[in-house]
Structures are given as C-alpha cells and as structure tokens.
Amino acid sequence: MRQISTDAIIEAVKKISIDASFDLGHDVVEAMENARRVEESPVGRGILDQVLDNARIARTEMAPMCQDTGFAVLFVQLGQEVQIVGGDLYDALNEGVRRGYKDGYLRKSIVADPLSRKNTGDNTPAVIHTDIVPGDKLKITIAPKGGGSENMSEVKMLKPSDGIQGVKDFVIDRVRRSGGNPCPPIIVGVGIGGTFEKCAYLAKKSLLREVGNRNPDKFYADLELELLEKINKLGIGPQGLGGTTTALDVHVEVFPCHIASLPVAVNTQCHAARHKEVIL
C-alpha cells in the first residue's frame, strides 16, 4: 500500500487550480490557430486573433484568461493501492482549491445555497468525481467551468425510436439556441446513454479529451465529425457575431442504457477550455 499525504494533495491541487486559469492547452490554441486560417468572416478572424492574443497574455503575465474563473470541477482517479494519510481526501481537494483561488487572485463564484445566494468566499466546495482504478497512483484533473457555457447545457430523455437522427437534431438545436451566449468558438461535449445523470457526466468528462482526438469507435468518431460540420454551418461564428467557426470540436461519449430510454446530454465548453492534471 502506497501512502500519499493530504499535504501533497493540497499543494498539487493549489498549483493546477492556478495553472488552469493562466495556461490554455496547446490543443485548444492550435485548434483556434487552424480555425483562424480558414475562417471566412473578417470579423470572425479578428475575434480569433483577439482570443489567441488573450491566451498569450494570460500565459506570459500569469493572469486569468477569463474573468469567470469557474466552478472547480475535479476528476479524481484513485489507485486501489493508495492510502490517503493525514486527513480526508475530499477535505484536502477542497483546501487545494481554496488556496489556489486565494493565492492566484481568482474570482470566487460559488454560492453556498442556490436560492439564498450567499457567496462562500473561497470558490469551494468543488464538484468532485471519483473513480477507483488499479495501481498506486492518484491522478487529479481540474476543469474550471464557467457559468455562461454551463448555462447552455441540457439533458433530454429521448425515446429509443428517436434514434440517431433524434440525437443529431437535439445536439444541433441546442447549439443553435445557445447562439453567442457560451462565447464561441465552443467545444461540444455529448453524452449518450446511461441514465439521466450518467449522460450528463459523460458529456462533461468528454471535454477533457484533447481537441482533435476522436472517439475510438469509428461510428461515433464519424458522428463527431458530422455534428462538427453541421454546427459550423449554423453561421453563429466567433463570439456569436457570424462566421464559419462556431465549434472547435465535438466529443461524444457513450454508455449502455435501459431498453426504454435514450438519454442525451450536451455540455457546452467556451473557448477558454481550461483543464490541468497532476499525478501523485
């Protein structure tokens, strides 16, 4: 049994909390550079130039790439041969977020109660998804999620008879109705199958995949490309001001489901597609 201290977890989460807000992934930057080269709208090209410049400034000056530094969403893979010592795992994860948002001067956006709306003051609690996996490592991925893009997400319980066309229609309509609200160019996460909550989880987790990394199943890889093409024909464009670049990618994840169900979820990610990981 390998021991990992809560102190090490706190420091690791603190660091990736800060790094995620300052350093946009190379895959997203490269995708926007490629989009800039083929974008047909002069206004769209200008916006993509500004977004790329913003990412460069954030990285070099260690400043948040967006004023909305997001809800801290953590994906944790805990090796079954790991023992956490020195305290509770979830307490350590939240303390790391708390310190990261404080020391990184990141905006605190979380309210303690959804109706009374009093701010917690430290951007906790985080949303934590935990998987128990083989091995003696602890992998933590943070994906700060902004409110604007999150608000454009949706779950729909389709009928099995709606089939693949029903899935396509729902995804494209969700993006159409979103317009410029989620700050395009977006990444569209799609979860198909499972249950009401499982498909939403799949959609969100799919956003961790690198841009351009296709689903390993050719059927779903082709579906991703088809949806991406159709979404970019909607004309929404960068920041919703028109153009041929509405989405940088579409990621589809699937799970078995009940014979009576066809759950589908769309989780929309803005152009500030932030995530960082650490392995202890």
Residues 270 and 151 in one domain: yes
Amino acid letter for position 152: M
Residues 167 and 97 both lie in one domain: no
Same domain, residue pair 75 and 112: yes
Residue 61, pLDDT score = 96
Residues 98 and 208 in one domain: no
Instruction: Decide if 258 is inside a domain.
Output: yes
Report if residue 13 sits inside a domain: yes
pLDDT in tens, 177-231: 999 999 999 999 999 999 999 999 999 999 999 999 999 999 999 999 999 999 9
Contacts of 214 (CB under 8 A, 6+ apart): 221, 224, 225
Could you tell me if residue 76 is inside a domain?
yes
pLDDT in tens, 76-135: 999 999 999 999 999 999 999 999 999 999 999 999 999 999 999 999 999 999 999 999
Domain that holds residue 89: 2-20+65-144
Residue 237: both structure tokens together? 């464009």
pLDDT at residue 88, rounded to an integer: 98
Same domain, 167 and 262: yes
Task: Tell me: do 246 and 203 sit in the same domain.
Answer: yes
The answer on 131 and 10 residing in a single domain is yes
* pLDDT computed for residue 249 by the predictor: 98
13 and 100 together in one domain? yes
Q: Is 9 exposed, middle or buried (0-12, 13-18, 19+ CB in 10 A)?
A: buried
